[in-house]
Amino acid sequence: MSPGVRFEAEASDELDEAALWYEHRSDGLGTEFLNAIEQAVAMVTRWPHAAPQATDLPKDLVVRRAPVSHFPYHLVYMETAEAIRVLAVAHDAKRPGYWRVRLLE
């Protein structure tokens, strides 16, 4: 049985903000973004080790970055015994690595 997916509060906020931004750009685009996120979550749930590891972290801390199709975003996540923790819904080019401080929480 695969673990569930849990979005951290900050990641959930980022998801909402990005979906609203896209929806304001074009009707229906926010929904397309949310559908792409759902597809990325499904991939991560089915194959949690398929996404590449984030760089510049201690070797014993496995954090992965799953791309979001058709959008310049990725899910930053780590697998625990209880769940797959989504740490960030991060834009590919804005503030790279900003989510690393969340690992200390």
pTM: 0.89
Q: From the CB of residue 99, how many other CB atoms can be counted at a distance below 10 Å?
A: 20
pLDDT tens digits for the chain (105 residues)?
Answer: 456 999 999 999 999 999 999 999 999 999 999 999 999 999 999 999 999 999 888 888 899 999 999 999 999 999 988 899 999 999 998 888 888 878 776
Q: Which of 48, 40, 43 is nearest to 81 (CA)?
A: 48
Under 8 Å between Cβ of 84 and 4: yes
What is the Cα–Cα distance from 86 to 11, expressed in whole angstroms?
7
- CA 21 vs. chain centroid, Å, equals 17
Q: What is 4-104's CATH topology? A: YaeB-like fold (3.30.2310)
Domain ranges of the chain: 4-104
> What integer pLDDT is reported at residue 1 of this predicted model?
42
Sign of CA dihedral 21, 13, 86, 3: negative
